[in-house]
Structure 1
Amino acid sequence: MVRALRPSSLVGPSFFYALLLLVVAALVGQHPAGPLRVATAQSVSALAPVPVRVGVILDWATKASSAVSLRRRTGIQMAVEDYYAAHPGSATRVELHFGDSKGDVVGAASAALDLIKNAQVQAIIGPKTSAEAEFVAHIGSRAHVPVLSYSATSPSLSPAQTPYFVRTAAKDSLQATPVATVLAHFGWRAAVVLHEDSPYGTGILPALADALQSVDSAAIVERVAVPSGAHDNALDALLYRLKAMPTRVFVVHANFRLATRLFRRAEEAGMMSDGYAWVVTDGVGSLVDRLSPEDVDAMQGVVSLRPHVELTSQVKNFSARFRARFRRGNPASDDDVINDPTVTRLWSYDTAWAIAAAAEAASVPGPAFQTPQRSRALTDLDRLGVSATGAALLRAVVNTTFDGMAGRFKLVNGQLQVAAYEVVNIIGNGARTVGFWTPESGILRDLNNGGGKAARQLKPILWPGEALSKPRGWTESPNGRVLNVAVPMKNGFKQFVDVVGEKNSTTPKVTGYCIDVFEAVMKNLPYPVNYRYVPFPRSPDSYEKLVDQVSGGEADIAVGDVTITASRMHEADFTMPFTESGWAMVVATRPDTSASMWIFLQPLTTSLWLASLAFFCFTGFVVWVIEHRVNPEFRGTPSQQFGLIFYFSFSTLVFARRSWRATCRGWW
Structure 2
Amino acid sequence: MLRQSLLMLAMQAVSMFHGYEVGLLLNAASPETSAAIRRLSAFTVTQLDQSSTTVHLQEVSYEPTYLSIMQSICSLLERNVVAILSASGSTLTKVQVNIASQFNIPIISGTATNPFLESAGSGKVDIVRLSPSDIYQSQAVFDLLKTYKWHQFSILASADDYGIDGVVQLQHLASQSGKFKTNTVQYFNAALDVADINVDMFTKELTLIKDSLEKVIVLNCGTRFADTIVREAHKMGLMEEGFVWIATDGVAAQLEVTTNEDGMYSGYLATLPNYGKDSESYNDTKAAYVSAGGDPSDFRLSSVKVSDGIKLVHRALSKMDLKGSWDSEPSQTCDSSDAWLGGIEVFDEIMSLPNGIANPTYDVMNFNFRAFVKVGSWQETVGLVAPDNSLTPWEERKDIVFVGPHYTSPSGFGSSLTGYHLRVGTIHEPPIAMMSDSCTENQFSDPDCWYGWCTDIIERLSKDLNFTYEYVRPHKNKYGAFQKDTGAWNGMVKDIIESRIDLTTALAINAARSQVIDFSSPFFEDQLAMAVYPKSTRSSSNMFFFLEPFHQSVWVSIIGLVVLITLLTNFLSKFSPLGDFGKKIHSMQVCSCEQCFLRRKVKAERMCRFADTKTHDCLVDEVFDHGNTLDLSNSTWLIGTGFVLQGTDKLPTAPSGRFLLFTWWFFVMILTSMYTANLTAHLTMNWSGANIYSLEDLLTQRDYSWGLLADRKYGQYDG
Report the TM-score range of the alignment, normalised by the length of the smaller protein. 0.5 to 0.7
Counterpart residue number, 1:420: 361
Q: Is the 8 A contact 2:80 2:330 kept in 1?
A: no
Q: Is the 8 A contact 2:290 2:296 kept in 1?
A: yes
Other structure's SS at 2:297 match: coil
One of 421, 429, 438 as aligned partner of 2:379 = 438
Amino acid across the alignment from 1:75: L
One of 243, 249, 269 as aligned partner of 2:216 = 249
One of 333, 342, 350 as aligned partner of 1:397 = 350
Post-superposition offset of 1:655: 9.7
Taking only aligned residues, the RMSD between alpha carbons, in angstroms, comes to 4.3
User: 2 CA distance for matches of 1:656 and 1:149?
Assistant: 97
User: 1 CA distance for matches of 2:102 and 2:293?
Assistant: 36
Q: Is the 8 A contact 2:19 2:55 kept in 1?
A: yes
Amino acid across the alignment from 1:170: P
Q: Is the 8 A contact 1:281 1:305 kept in 2?
A: yes
User: 2 CA distance for matches of 1:655 and 1:462?
Assistant: 94
Counterpart residue number, 2:155: 193
Quote the sequence identity (%). 18
Tell me, yes or no, if structure 1 residue 214 matches structure 2 residue 176: yes
User: 2 CA distance for matches of 1:134 and 1:399?
Assistant: 22
Post-superposition offset of 1:58: 1.6
Post-superposition offset of 1:149: 0.9
Post-superposition offset of 1:559: 4.9
Tell me, yes or no, if structure 1 residue 58 matches structure 2 residue 16: no
One of 479, 482, 487 as aligned partner of 2:424 = 482
Amino acid across the alignment from 2:313: I
Counterpart residue number, 1:175: 137
Other structure's SS at 2:153 match: strand
User: 2 CA distance for matches of 1:38 and 1:75?
Assistant: 39
Q: Is the 8 A contact 2:148 2:395 kept in 1?
A: no
Where does 1:325-344 land on structure 2 (aligned, <5 Å)?
325=292, 327=294, 337-339=295-297, 341-344=299-302
Counterpart residue number, 1:377: none
User: 1 CA distance for matches of 2:480 and 2:256?
Assistant: 61
User: 2 CA distance for matches of 1:558 and 1:290?
Assistant: 54
Other structure's SS at 1:440 match: coil
- How has the CA–CA distance of structure 1 residues 533 and 237 changed in structure 2, closer, same or farther, with 3 Å as cutoff? closer
Post-superposition offset of 1:115: 1.6
User: 2 CA distance for matches of 1:255 and 1:160?
Assistant: 20
- Partner deviation per Cα, 1:444-475 (whole Å, 9 max, x = no partner): 223646xx783786554322222333333233
One of 71, 80, 85 as aligned partner of 1:125 = 85
User: 2 CA distance for matches of 1:546 and 1:200?
Assistant: 43
User: 2 CA distance for matches of 1:561 and 1:130?
Assistant: 45
User: 2 CA distance for matches of 1:356 and 1:172?
Assistant: 27
One of 164, 185, 199 as aligned partner of 2:126 = 164
Counterpart residue number, 1:82: 47
User: 2 CA distance for matches of 1:436 and 1:115?
Assistant: 38
Amino acid across the alignment from 1:358: A
Post-superposition offset of 1:297: 0.8
Greater CA deviation, 105-114 or 158-167? 158-167
- Partner deviation per Cα, 1:625-653 (whole Å, 9 max, x = no partner): xxxxxxxxxxxxxxxxxxxxxxxxxxxx9
Amino acid across the alignment from 2:37: R
Counterpart residue number, 1:45: 14
Unaligned 5+ residue runs, structure 2?
Answer: 433-449, 455-466, 482-488, 496-502, 513-525, 535-643, 651-719
User: 1 CA distance for matches of 2:283 and 2:310?
Assistant: 19
Where does 1:221-236 land on structure 2 (aligned, <5 Å)?
221-227=183-189, 228=191, 229-236=196-203
Post-superposition offset of 1:398: 0.9
Q: Is the 8 A contact 1:121 1:367 kept in 2?
A: no
- Partner deviation per Cα, 1:323-367 (whole Å, 9 max, x = no partner): 45465xxxxxxxxx3437212222111111111111112227576
Post-superposition offset of 1:288: 2.4
Other structure's SS at 1:286 match: helix
Tell me, yes or no, if structure 1 residue 263 matches structure 2 residue 230: yes
User: 2 CA distance for matches of 1:151 and 1:204?
Assistant: 13
One of 272, 283, 300 as aligned partner of 2:266 = 300
One of 307, 313, 316 as aligned partner of 2:283 = 316
User: 2 CA distance for matches of 1:459 and 1:434?
Assistant: 11
- How has the CA–CA distance of structure 1 residues 301 and 67 changed in structure 2, closer, same or farther, with 3 Å as cutoff? closer
Where does 1:523-534 land on structure 2 (aligned, <5 Å)?
none
- How has the CA–CA distance of structure 1 residues 131 and 240 changed in structure 2, closer, same or farther, with 3 Å as cutoff? closer
User: 1 CA distance for matches of 2:40 and 2:303?
Assistant: 7
One of 106, 121, 124 as aligned partner of 1:146 = 106
- How has the CA–CA distance of structure 1 residues 457 and 339 changed in structure 2, closer, same or farther, with 3 Å as cutoff? farther
Post-superposition offset of 1:153: 2.3
Counterpart residue number, 1:109: 70
Other structure's SS at 2:227 match: helix
Post-superposition offset of 1:263: 0.9
Amino acid across the alignment from 1:472: S
Other structure's SS at 2:185 match: strand
Q: Is the 8 A contact 2:429 2:506 kept in 1?
A: yes
User: 2 CA distance for matches of 1:367 and 1:275?
Assistant: 61
Q: Is the 8 A contact 1:50 1:93 kept in 2?
A: yes
Post-superposition offset of 1:174: 2.1
Tell me, yes or no, if structure 1 residue 278 matches structure 2 residue 239: no
Q: Is the 8 A contact 2:87 2:306 kept in 1?
A: no
Q: Is the 8 A contact 1:445 1:458 kept in 2?
A: no
Post-superposition offset of 1:426: 1.0
Counterpart residue number, 1:97: 58
Amino acid across the alignment from 1:312: S
User: 2 CA distance for matches of 1:98 and 1:50?
Assistant: 20
One of 71, 77, 98 as aligned partner of 2:36 = 71
One of 347, 350, 356 as aligned partner of 2:308 = 350
User: 2 CA distance for matches of 1:307 and 1:189?
Assistant: 25
Post-superposition offset of 1:251: 1.0
- Partner deviation per Cα, 1:547-594 (whole Å, 9 max, x = no partner): 89x9666995655699x9xxxxxxxxxxxxx99997999xxxxxxxxx
- Partner deviation per Cα, 1:57-82 (whole Å, 9 max, x = no partner): 223x35xx233222212222332332
Other structure's SS at 1:298 match: coil
Q: TM-score, normalised by structure 1?
A: 0.61
Q: Is the 8 A contact 1:272 1:464 kept in 2?
A: yes
- How has the CA–CA distance of structure 1 residues 207 and 473 changed in structure 2, closer, same or farther, with 3 Å as cutoff? same
User: 1 CA distance for matches of 2:145 and 2:7?
Assistant: 73
